A and B are shown apart, each in its own frame.
Chain A
Amino acid sequence: DAGVIQSPRHEVTEMGQEVTLRCKPISGHNSLFWYRQTMMRGLELLIYFNNNVPIDDSGMPEDRFSAKMPNASFSTLKIQPSEPRDSAVYFCASISTGVTGELFFGEGSRLTVL
């Protein structure tokens, strides 16, 4: 299996621009998580989906952030408009619902907002 696949790996954009991050979970995993990592706040859960349905979005910073999961093999995290404080590494992770143990992370998307 190729693992969790994220794109882009790196993105540099200017303040005010729209940013879309993409994730393909591991085939057969039906829970998907978006985490954000910064030096100041560490790894934080933003939102997660079970069977394509958003379950908990309490970690989403504000209305500029939105996430969708139109099908079992694809999810997006969108920031519009982006701000410099959104600069971080965004990770997508997946696991089978009800299974504990190894949460599989992607390699992350490093976002820099100038």
Chain B
Amino acid sequence: GESVGLHLPTLSVQEGDNSIINCAYSNSASDYFIWYKQESGKGPQFIIDIRSNMDKRQGQRVTVLLNKTVKHLSLQIAATQPGDSAVYFCAEGPYNQGGKLIFGQGTELSVKP
């Protein structure tokens, strides 16, 4: 029979607003965290990363915050644009084994013009 797929959490924002996407990670031993963006029909694309010895890192229009106490990661996108519409995944893993990652379920960001 047909399997029922999971419905991704969805965040809908107005163009120009700031977006905050949250993620809870599972492994206390993970010391490396990454955010990926996946557009429809494409592979995940790296956005920004952070090591466990930091709690904040900024890129161009994006900021990642890490709270190790509660195992929480967030991605902030400033001045959200229609081109930011995609599914965003957080991922965790060992810093010394780049690429061996555990991905979160993803959040779908929808930007309304």
List chain A positions with a Cβ less than 8 A from chain B: 4, 31, 33, 38-40, 42-45, 48, 56, 91, 93-95, 97-108
Given A40-B6, A42-B106, check contact A93 B98 (CB 8 Å).
Answer: no
- Out of B32, B42, B106, name the residue touching A100 (CB < 8 Å): B32
Nearest CB of chain B from residue A6's CB, rounded to whole Å: 8
The residue of chain A having its C-beta at the shortest distance from the C-beta of B44 within the complex is: A105
Contacts of A98 in B (CB 8 A): 96, 98
Is B99's CB under 8 angstroms from A95's CB? Answer: yes
Chain B residues with CB below 8 A from A99, complex form: 98
A5, B110: Cα distance in complex, Å = 28
Q: Which of B5, B34, B44, B104 has the most CB of A within 10 A?
A: B44
A residues less than 8 Å from B44 (CB atoms): 43, 91, 105
Contact check, B42 vs A107: say whether CB atoms are below 8 A apart.
yes
| B100 CB-CB contact with A under 8 Å | yes
Question: Which residue of chain B lies nearest to A99 when distances are taken between CB atoms in the complex?
Answer: B98
* Complex: A37 Cα to B5 Cα, angstroms: 12
Q: Is the CB of A48 within 8 A of B98?
A: no
Residues of A close to B27: CB separation below 8 A: none
